[in-house]
């Protein structure tokens, strides 16, 4: 009987899961859309992971990360709930021990992690603005009528990217419209957009950070070849894009859960758990806290969002 560990990364756009064995080898993996319903997508994910595992394994640990980590951690009774920054770093270091910089651009947020000798020494996350994230690219792709999957290939065709003001998403958008209306070629505009994402990212998230190679580029936007090209050009360094780049968070949190394993044994039969959340507003005082009550198999297991004990009991 060999031991295995499950890591789940529930992002805003997609849900990723891996199962690893004791030597950190990935024995099952999957990647599905979250579609605004983390509970259902995790159920689907675990079903698919279960079908991939062949051999005699017992599940000894579960870790969750990503923006829905707390909720899913509660649902799966995870032994570790970790933030995505640490999870991504640990997952990446396990595969590329010599990495110095991790660039990550996801759907809603983007981050940079600086690593020295296998430990995180600095990181940053976008704070106020969505400039330089995947959401910006996909909304602009829709505006100019290009499928987001062809975006990167189209950008590579251009050798004269238009300059788009990269400071802010809103200004970049009006600049883009202006360029399109004055008759620039579509491929040049697409290339300009990819370049502006790179500049945005480096100006916002990467400000004041010393970016040294080897550099690994992750997150959904790393699949866009145009953005990769302009990162190479602007940073003047080689950029590594791992095929498993999107799984790094899940892998990292699985590794952490292995580290913090207990005697508890889990199983993969979670698809029949009834898990309901109910939102309401507490009118106990003028704070009007938004309260979320969480039921597992129709038993109340937790209440979130209350600022005082009053909200826990309503």
Partner 1 sequence: MHTIAFPKLADYDVPARYLLNHITNYKIIKPEINLNTIEIGSKHSPDFVCTPFKYTLGTLINGLKKGADTLIQFGGGCRYGAYAALQEEILKKLGYKFEMYNLITAGKTDIKRIKKIFKTIDPNIKIYKSLRYLIIAFSMVKYMDKIDNYIRENIGFEIDKGSFIRLKKKMLNDFYNCKGLFHLRRLYTKYKKRFRKIKVDKPKDYLKVGIIGELYTLMEDSANYNIEYELAKYKISIKRFTNVTYLLLKKRRLVKKYLRKMKNIKYKLGADALDNVYHTKYLCKKKYDGIVHIKSSFCTPEIGAMPLINDIAKKNNVPVIFFSFDTNTSKVGVETRIEAFVDMLKMKKGRL
85 makes contact with partner 1 (CB under 8 A): yes
Structure tokens at 285: 């005082």
- When asked if residue 122 is in the footprint of partner 1 (CB under 8 A), the reply is yes
* Dihedral angle sign, alpha carbons of residues 164, 239, 131, 129: negative
Stretch that binds partner 1, among 18-26, 212-220, 237-245, 279-287 (CB under 8 A): 279-287
- Does 303 interact with partner 1 (rule: CB under 8 A)? no
Select 225 or 310, whichever has its Cβ closest to partner 1.
Answer: 310
Q: Whose Cβ is closer to partner 1: residue 107's or residue 161's?
A: 107
Which residues, including other chains, have CB under 8 Å from residue 219's CB and lie 6 or more apart?
Answer: 104, 105, 106, 110, 134, 245, 246
Task: Candidates 2-10, 30-38, 56-64, 79-87: pick the segment binding partner 1 (CB under 8 A).
Answer: 79-87
For residues 120 and 287, give the distance between their C-alpha atoms in angstroms, rounded to a whole number.
38
Going by C-alpha positions, the residue among 273, 222, 255, 249 that lies closest to residue 31 is 249
Query: Does residue number 285 form part of the binding site for partner 1 (CB under 8 A)?
Result: yes
Least distance (Å) between residue 134 CB and partner 1: 17
Give the ranges where the chain is alpha helix by DSSP (H): 38-52, 69-76, 84-95, 134-144, 151-157, 169-181, 186-204, 225-235, 248-259, 310-313
d(CA 123, CA 139): 27
Binding of partner 1 at residue 128 (CB under 8 A)?
A: yes
Of 208, 272, 298, 299, which lies in the binding site for partner 1, with binding defined by CB under 8 A?
A: 208
82 binds partner 1 (CB under 8 A): yes
- Point out which residues bind partner 1 (CB under 8 A): 67, 82-86, 119-123, 125, 127-128, 208, 285-288
């Amino acid at each position: 009987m060999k031991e295995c560990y499950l890591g789940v990364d529930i992002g805003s756009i997609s849900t990723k899961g891996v199962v690893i064995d004791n030597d950190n080898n990935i024995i099952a993996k999957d990647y599905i859309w979250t579609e605004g319903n983390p509970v259902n997508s995790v159920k689907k994910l675990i079903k698919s992971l279960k079908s991939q595992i062949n051999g005699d394994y017992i599940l000894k640990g579960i870790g969750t990360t990503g923006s829905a980590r707390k909720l899913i951690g509660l649902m799966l009774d995870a032994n570790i709930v970790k933030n995505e920054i640490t999870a991504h770093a640990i997952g990446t270091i396990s595969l590329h021990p010599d990495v110095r910089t991790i660039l990550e651009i996801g759907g809603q947020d983007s981050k940079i992690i600086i690593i020295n000798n296998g430990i995180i020494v600095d990181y940053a996350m976008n704070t106020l603005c969505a400039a330089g994230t995947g959401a910006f690219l996909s909304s602009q792709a829709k505006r100019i009528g290009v499928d987001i999957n062809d975006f990167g290939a189209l950008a590579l065709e251009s050798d004269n990217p238009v300059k788009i003001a990269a400071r802010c998403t809103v200004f970049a958008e009006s600049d883009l419209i202006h360029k399109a209306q004055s008759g620039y070629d579509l491929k040049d505009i697409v290339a300009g957009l990819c370049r502006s994402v790179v500049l945005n990212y480096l100006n916002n998230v990467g400000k004041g950070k010393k970016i040294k190679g080897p550099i690994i580029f992750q997150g959904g936007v790393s699949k866009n070849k145009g953005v990769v090209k302009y990162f190479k050009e602007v940073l003047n360094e080689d950029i590594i894009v791992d095929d498993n780049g999107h799984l790094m968070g899940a892998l990292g949190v699985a590794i952490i859960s292995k580290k913090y394993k207990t005697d508890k044994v889990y199983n993969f039969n979670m698809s029949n758990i009834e898990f309901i959340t109910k939102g309401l507003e507490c009118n106990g005082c003028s704070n009007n806290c938004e309260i979320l009550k969480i039921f597992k198999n129709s038993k109340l297991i937790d209440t979130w969002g209350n600022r005082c004990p009053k909200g826990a009991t309503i």
